[in-house]
Chain A
Amino acid sequence: MADDVQKSIVLDFTYTTDTYDQFTQAEIYGKAITKMAEDNKDIVVLTSDMTRSNKTGDFKKTFPERFFNFGIAEANMFAASAGMAVCGKIPFVTTFAVFASLRCAEMIRTDIAYPNLPVRIIATHAGLSQGNGGTTHHSTEDIAILRSMANMTVIVPADSIETGKAVMATATLPGPVYIRIGRALEPMAYPDDNYDYQIGKAVIMRDYGKDAAVIACGVAVKAACDAADELKEKGVKIRVVNMHTIKPLDIDALMKAARDTGKIVTAEEHSIVGGLAGAVSEALTEAGVAVKFKRLGVPDIFSAIGYPDELYARYKINKNGIAETVKDIVS
């Protein structure tokens, strides 16, 4: 899709980080589906008492007859979305990531993934973005769960620019997709929207040298870029790969990073078990590529209460944590 077309789809004005960072990922999602739904009459939106949190209010206003609020009943909503998809609709189903991935895991797997239906799961407030909501609201298992379902595409956009692009890219996707986004105004990873986004194709964000590579997704991408910039000043030159699609994984970009550097750090707002780190290590092991390897994310514990930035620091998925880890692995 050409950039000028995308511009007219998501926002009504030219966007740069300055314009985009006024909007959370969920707000951009809300705008993107409202635009997409003008052309595609089959798009419907389902929510579970989360219109405000999930930013689907614009859509509701514009297309009230295509908007369904199921109340606080997520399992029912996901199974119903399968029913609509079977009959030809393209449902965008929104709730917090933790409820989508855990409470509704079976409805998603059996009713949506198994029949390979074009349901778009937009999982907001993912990872540690509801920091002081505590464990019941942290979503640190969802990537692992969703990527283990056959037929499922799993996307973790780096910022709101990429969220808009990912949502629009679903237009031509025949099967189900899980798009996992944050809560607040996270810092922008991209300077502008002028890049080619394709599902399953990683983006090289920094390519300063071959000392190590950081493979990141979500909020960790911007942190990894900042770490790379800082490290470069100190003579450590790394590559940063934005692995926005966890499934299907961009094996080529991964293998190239592994072969070029021999040192891989993964960084994600997720448990270090089974998510991006899991996908990367499975691929490397199967290919017989040996690297020095370090996983950053929430260790195998239930995460603490705190503000997101404090938790990112605790689990080393901020700039300093990533820079420190890279220094360790290259020394």
Chain B
Amino acid sequence: MHKKDSKSRDQLLDYLDDKAEWLRREIIRLSSIAGGAHLGGGLSMADVIVAVYYYAMNLKQGDPTWADRDRFILSKGHGAVAYCPVLADQGFFSPDWLNTFNNLDSPFGMHPDMKKIPGCDMSTGSLGHGLSVAVGMALTARLDKKSWRVFVLMGDGEINEGMVWEAAPAASHFKLGNIVAIIDRNTLSLDGPTEEIMAIEPIAKRWEAFGWRVFDIDGHDMGALVDTLDKLPPSSDPTPTLIVARTVKGKGVDFMENNPIWHYAGLDKAKSAEALTCIGNCRPKRRT
């Protein structure tokens, strides 16, 4: 993988920002093929999933079934449009497959299906399940004396689900420091702001009270993401880790940013082109 030793830090961050820009473009492209997509939450999670897949996770390019790989669960399954391109780019299947997105008998719909998508470790789409599944995977890694980690990405609205609050104490109770959970804290769910609908703050304090180590960071700052991932404890550690990634729903496309209308939407040709221009304009400055 593209580990830090092969590149200077600046080269690394540029590389990751490039990947995130590419991913945002893919989200827009696929949304046209799909006839609509979860744009807001796809764009908000782009930097996080890039940092996790291209920097943190221990994977083998082109080998989706390698037994010792780190696992990833997209608990906010509606982010599939921002997830499947990454799996293709990891060499798990041909990127051409993506051109069927949402069409009849495609492996790709709005929510990922592990039986159809190589490299997808869990089928998701009903919110609130991922962390519990992660607990099961992490327990299995412990039983089998394996050092792989489980990464799980949740939406912020998603943590309204009661099951998340059954899984959170289970992870610390079972001493599952091999779990790294990330909350895409874009402050909006489907109807609007989480703090108006069903408040979830103070997030860090709540999770700490459940026995978790918490990092609260800017989820669009590749430097902050990389630094935080560097601080992850060894997977043998007893304390599970939560990264609260503060993000912007619709990030990178200014007319979508912070507007819940773009949670799920379609784009006509003109709007797609406009979105792609925005994505180019908003790319972080190159360091090298």
Contacts and interface: CB of A to CB of B under 8 A. Distances in A.
A72 B111 CA distance: 17
B190 interface: yes
Contacts of B35: 132, 307
Given A305-B104, A305-B105, A306-B103, A133 B125 contact: yes
B126 A304 contact: no
A254 B162 CA distance: 43
A71 B194 CA distance: 8
A223 to B, nearest CB: 18
Interface string B81-106: 00000000000000000000011111
A309 to B, nearest CB: 10
Which of B110, B161, B191 is most buried by chain A, counting CB atoms within 10 A of its CB?
B191
Given A73-B160, A133-B111, A49 B191 contact: yes
Contacts of B191: 47, 49-52, 69
Interface residues of B: mostly helix, strand, loop or mixed? loop
A304 B113 contact: no
Contacts, number: 94
Nearest to A136: B125
A137 interface: yes
A73 B125 contact: no
Interface string B197-220: 110000000000000000000000
A136 B157 contact: no
Nearest to A304: B105
Contacts of B127: 72
Contacts of A240: none
A69 B103 contact: no
Contact of B111 (A52, A136, A307, A314): A136
Contacts of A137: 110-111, 125
B77 A136 contact: yes
Bin chain B's interface residue count. Answer: 20 to 34
B197 A69 contact: yes
Interface in A23-76: 47, 49-53, 69-73, 75-76
A73 B102 CA distance: 27
Given A52-B190, A72-B158, A72-B160, A305 B108 contact: yes
Given A49-B191, A50-B190, A134-B125, A72 B113 contact: no
Interface in B148-188: 157-158, 160-162
A71 B125 contact: no
B236 interface: no
A306 B105 contact: yes
Interface string B107-137: 1111101000000000111111000000000
Interface in A305-323: 305-307, 310-311, 314
A136 B124 contact: yes
16 contacts: A50-B191, A72-B157, A72-B160, A72-B189, A72-B190, A132-B35, A132-B103, A134-B110, A135-B113, A136-B111, A136-B123, A137-B125, A305-B104, A306-B105, A307-B103, A311-B104
Given A133-B109, A134-B111, 15 more contacts: A51-B191, A52-B191, A69-B198, A72-B127, A72-B158, A73-B161, A76-B162, A132-B34, A132-B103, A133-B111, A134-B125, A137-B110, A304-B104, A310-B104, A314-B104
